[in-house]
Amino acid sequence: MNDNQSSTGSELDQSATDNSFAPGLKGSLSKIAYNIFGLKKGSELKPTEAFSYGIAGFGQNLICGFIGSSYLVYFFTNGLLLNATVVGFIMLFTRLFDAFNDPVMGSIVDRTRTKWGKCRPYLLFTPIPIAILTVLIFLPLTPSTVSTAVVATLIYVLWSVIYTIVDVPYWGLATQMTSDTHLRGNILTVARLFCTIGSGVISIAVPPLISGMLANYLDADGEIMAGFEYQAAEVIRDNFIWIAVAIAALSIYPFFLGFLKTNERYYSTEKPKSLKHNIGLIFKNKPLLIIICSGVLGCAKIMFMYSGLYFCVYALGNVNFLGMHGSGLFTMVTLSIVPGGLLASVLTPYCTRKFGKRKTFIVSHLFGGIVLIIIYFIGYDTTWKLIVAMFGLMIAAIPQGFGNIISYAMIADSVDYLELHHNERGEGICFAMQTFINKVGMAFGAAVTAFGLDWAHIQAGDITSVTTQGKNTLWMLTILMTALSLVLSTIPMFFYKFNEKEQQEAVAQIAARKLALQDATTENVGLD
Q: Are 247 and 62 in contact (CB under 8 A)?
A: yes
Reference 153, options 206, 65, 88, 79; nearest CA is 88
Q: How far is residue 57's CA from residue 405's CA, in Å, rounded to a whole number?
A: 13
**φ, ψ of residue 43 in degrees (nearest 5):** -65, 145
Binning pLDDT at 50, 70 and 90, where does residue 17 land?
very low
List b or e across 459-486, with b for residues whose CB sees 16 or more CB atoms inside 10 angstroms: ebbebeebeeebbebbbbbbbbbbbbbb
C-alpha 162, offset from chain centre: 16
- Cα distances from 510 to residues 294, 416, 422, 503, 513, in angstroms, run 28, 8, 11, 10, 5
Binning pLDDT at 50, 70 and 90, where does residue 121 land?
very high
Residue 511 reports pLDDT greater than 70: yes
More confident residue, 44 or 475: 475
Q: Are 482 and 300 in contact (CB under 8 A)?
A: yes
Residue 10 reports pLDDT greater than 50: no
Q: How far is residue 348's CA from residue 472's CA, in Å, rounded to a whole number?
A: 35
Give the global pTM.
0.69
In this prediction, what percent of the chain has a pLDDT beyond 70? 83
Mean pLDDT score, 406-433? 86
The alpha-carbon radius of gyration of the chain (Å, integer) is 24
Q: Are 293 and 490 in contact (CB under 8 A)?
A: no
Q: How far is residue 479's CA from residue 475's CA, in Å, rounded to a whole number?
A: 6
Q: How far is residue 36's CA from residue 189's CA, in Å, rounded to a whole number?
A: 10
Least confident of 58-72, 78-92, 511-525: 511-525
For 310-349, write each residue's pLDDT tens digit. Answer: 888 777 766 666 666 666 677 777 777 778 877 887 888 8
Reference 82, options 233, 189, 223, 191; nearest CA is 233
Name the burial class of residue 231, with classes exposed (0-12), middle (13-18) and buried (19+) by CB atoms within 10 angstroms of its CB.
Answer: middle
- pLDDT of 102 reads 84
Please state which CATH number belongs to domain 52-265+274-497.
1.20.1250.20
Contacts of residues 144-151 at CB distance under 8 Å and 24 or more positions apart, as own/partner, are 144/80, 144/81, 144/82, 148/80, 148/82, 149/82, 149/86, 149/90
Mean pLDDT score, 496-522? 83
Mean pLDDT score, 144-161? 92
- Cα distances from 512 to residues 176, 182, 507, 515, 518, in angstroms, run 19, 20, 9, 5, 10
Q: How far is residue 66's CA from residue 250's CA, in Å, rounded to a whole number?
A: 13
For 272-300, write each residue's pLDDT tens digit. Answer: 677 788 888 889 999 999 999 999 899 88
Least confident of 26-30, 66-70, 337-341, 365-369: 26-30
Q: Are 183 and 36 in contact (CB under 8 A)?
A: no
- pLDDT of 153 reads 92
List b or e across 1-33, with b for residues whose CB sees 16 or more CB atoms inside 10 angstroms: eeeeebeebeebbeeeeeeeeeeeeeeeebeeb
Tell whether the torsion through CA atoms of 164, 72, 393 and 449 is positive or negative.
negative
Q: Are 413 and 188 in contact (CB under 8 A)?
A: no
Contacts of residues 155-158 at CB distance under 8 Å and 24 or more positions apart, as own/partner, are 156/72, 156/90, 156/94, 157/94, 157/97, 157/98, 158/133
C-alpha 173, offset from chain centre: 15
Q: Are 119 and 168 in contact (CB under 8 A)?
A: no
- Cα distances from 378 to residues 135, 254, 373, 386, 474, in angstroms, run 41, 42, 9, 9, 15
**φ, ψ of residue 6 in degrees (nearest 5):** -85, 135
Residue 4 reports pLDDT greater than 90: no
Tell whether the torsion through CA atoms of 506, 512, 518 and 520 is positive or negative.
negative
Domain boundaries, the chain: 52-265+274-497
- pLDDT of 47 reads 82
C-alpha 46, offset from chain centre: 25
Mean per-residue pLDDT of the chain: 82
For 473-491, write each residue's pLDDT tens digit. Answer: 889 988 999 999 999 999 9
Q: How far is residue 476's CA from residue 481's CA, in Å, rounded to a whole number?
A: 7
Residue 21 reports pLDDT greater than 50: no
The crossing angle, in degrees rounded to 10, of helices 383-422 and 146-177 is 60
- pLDDT of 375 reads 93
Q: How far is residue 93's CA from residue 357's CA, in Å, rounded to a whole number?
A: 33
- Cα distances from 20 to residues 41, 85, 225, in angstroms, run 7, 62, 66
Q: Are 328 and 317 in contact (CB under 8 A)?
A: no
Q: How far is residue 137's CA from residue 348's CA, in Å, rounded to a whole number?
A: 36
- pLDDT of 391 reads 87
Mean pLDDT score, 341-362? 88
Binning pLDDT at 50, 70 and 90, where does residue 469 land?
confident
Q: How far is residue 309's CA from residue 72's CA, in Å, rounded to a whole number?
A: 11
Binning pLDDT at 50, 70 and 90, where does residue 5 land?
very low
Q: How far is residue 451's CA from residue 437's CA, in Å, rounded to a whole number?
A: 21
Residue 216 DSSP label: G
- pLDDT of 231 reads 85
- Cα distances from 196 to residues 61, 79, 200, 224, 304, in angstroms, run 8, 27, 6, 32, 15
Mean pLDDT score, 172-201? 81
